[in-house]
């Protein structure tokens, strides 16, 4: 097969499972069907006119599997001319996977966009370096904690919960993704009280802190909501990207008036990535596309917590977010769910210093309370970075918070 010229084309990679299919024929049907619609029946003059719009089969890798039913598959790469779609992620996704997503066992596993397409997307506004600069922390992973049991809390309850987390020495605190607009704790009211709590805690800890407030409401009003939150002192945003769409994230990130980091939450991702036969692969869904759309931090299920994603997918997401060969800032990977201090050495081993340790129950469930929970994580991070076993560090004077955490949850062996 002659290698096609891929200049000005976006390349999609599909995994197609079929025990009997002629994969070469299938690939050609995708390339033609999702672009010009038909080819062999067109007159020659019309073919000359339509050639610039025609999809191209780039490669086909067939795998026979183990002979069990459903194990035969092929990885098929198709190139789509940029001229066919506008430079926005919805147009690209509908082109490469809209109709095809309903055509049997077909999974979108990767997308390589052209230089021309990517030029419309500056990527993260802050990225890893920018977030570190805001916090003044450059030599360790960041520590994030999460509001818990937010439904039904009044402002006083949220303020106290925020204050206790901040006292623990965390770098970021984020809203729960299910904290929406309401009369009691609306975005402007909770930002005001929580940022005041951050100020009070900073007087004791000497640390800067980012508060990622959950941005919600009708899509047409999100930018106004973000500006309102920022006017009240919000210095970061949390956004349920997949519920609203990548292009909404892109517009928020690109807005010059929304000059704060944005953390992307993976809510709804489980409807799209877990199946080996359908949907969109996690590294693309939560890695490459999130970064392209402008997420400064990206949350996703960890390989060792309570919501488990296969480790190879976790590490592939990390690579997508940290790939320095791409012409945009890198994004913080935030492996999440079920994280406690005994997992910190694993997080550092697998995700490195440019990651965020994200804890909910591991902070709030600490026997000494949320402030002690944060302290236990900071002590665990310091120990792990110095190569000191957590059990050894926990026995040292002044590490009572870490000892209580190790006694409560144990230490996962590296």
Q: Which residues are catalytic?
A: 99
Going by C-alpha positions, the residue among 237, 135, 251 that lies closest to residue 177 is 237
CA distance 308 to 7: 39
* Measured distance CA(332)–CA(322) in Å, rounded: 8
**Structure tokens belonging to residue 221:** 């009003």
Phi, psi of 327 (to 5 degrees): -80, 60
- Beta strand pairing call for 9-17 and 106-112: antiparallel
β-sheet bridge partners, residue 336: 301
Q: 247 by DSSP, 3-state: which?
A: helix
Q: Which residues pair with 174 in a beta bridge?
A: 146, 212
Closest CA to 317 of 289, 349, 279, 278: 289
Q: Please give the structure tokens belonging to residue 353.
A: 């210093």
Question: Which tokens go with 315?
Answer: 């590490």
HEC secondary structure over 87-146: CCHHHHHHHHHHCHHHCCCEEEEEEECCHHHHCCCCCCCCHHHHHHHHHCCCCCCEEEEE
Per-residue burial over 79-112, b if 16 or more Cβ lie within 10 Å, else e, is: bbbbebbeebbeebbebbbeebbeeeebbbbbbb
Task: Give the C-alpha separation, 223 to 400, whole Å.
Answer: 44
Compute CA distances 335 → 141, 144, 283, 317, 354, whole Å. Answer: 12, 11, 13, 10, 12
Give CA–CA dist 272/99, Å, rounded: 15
Distance CA 57, CA 25 (A): 10
């Amino acid at each position: 097969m002659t290698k096609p010229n891929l200049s000005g084309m976006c390349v999609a990679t599909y995994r197609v499972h079929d025990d009997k299919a002629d994969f070469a024929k299938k690939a050609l049907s995708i390339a033609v069907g999702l672009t010009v619609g038909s080819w062999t029946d067109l007159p020659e003059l019309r073919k000359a006119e339509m050639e610039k719009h025609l999809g191209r089969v780039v490669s086909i890798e067939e795998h026979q599997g183990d002979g069990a039913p459903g194990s035969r598959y092929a990885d098929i790469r198709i190139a789509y001319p940029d001229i066919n779609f506008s430079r926005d992620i919805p147009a690209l996704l509908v082109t490469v996977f809209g109709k095809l997503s309903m055509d049997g066992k077909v999974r979108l596993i990767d997308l390589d966009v052209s230089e021309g397409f990517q030029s419309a997307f500056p990527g993260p506004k802050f990225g890893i370096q920018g977030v570190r600069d805001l916090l003044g922390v450059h030599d360790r992973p960041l520590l994030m904690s999460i509001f818990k049991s937010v439904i039904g809390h009044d402002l006083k309850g949220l303020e106290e919960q925020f204050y206790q987390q901040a006292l623990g020495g965390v770098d970021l605190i984020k809203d729960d993704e299910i904290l929406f607009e309401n009369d009691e704790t609306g975005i402007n009211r909770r930002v005001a009280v929580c940022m005041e709590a951050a100020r009070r805690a900073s007087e004791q800890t000497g640390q800067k802190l980012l508060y990622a407030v959950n941005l919600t409401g009708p899509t047409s009003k999100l930018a106004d909501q973000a500006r309102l939150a920022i006017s009240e002192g919000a210095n970061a945003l949390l956004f349920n990207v997949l519920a609203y769409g990548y292009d909404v994230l892109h517009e928020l990130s690109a807005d010059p008036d929304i000059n704060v980091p944005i953390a992307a939450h993976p809510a709804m991702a489980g409807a799209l990535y877990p199946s080996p036969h359908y949907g969109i692969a996690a590294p693309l869904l939560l890695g490459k596309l999130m970064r392209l759309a402008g997420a400064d931090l990206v949350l996703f299920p960890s390989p060792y917590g309570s919501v488990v994603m296969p480790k190879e997918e976790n590490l592939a997401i990390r690579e997508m977010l940290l790939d320095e060969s791409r012409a945009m800032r890198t994004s913080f990977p935030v492996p999440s769910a079920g994280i406690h201090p005994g997992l910190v050495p694993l997080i550092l081993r697998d995700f490195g210093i440019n990651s965020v340790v994200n804890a909910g129950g591991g902070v709030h469930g600490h026997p000494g309370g949320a402030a002690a929970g944060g302290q236990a994580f900071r002590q665990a991070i310091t120990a792990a970075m110095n190569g000191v076993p957590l059990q050894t560090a926990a026995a040292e004077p002044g590490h009572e918070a870490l000892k209580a955490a190790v006694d409560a949850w144990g230490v996962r062996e590296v």
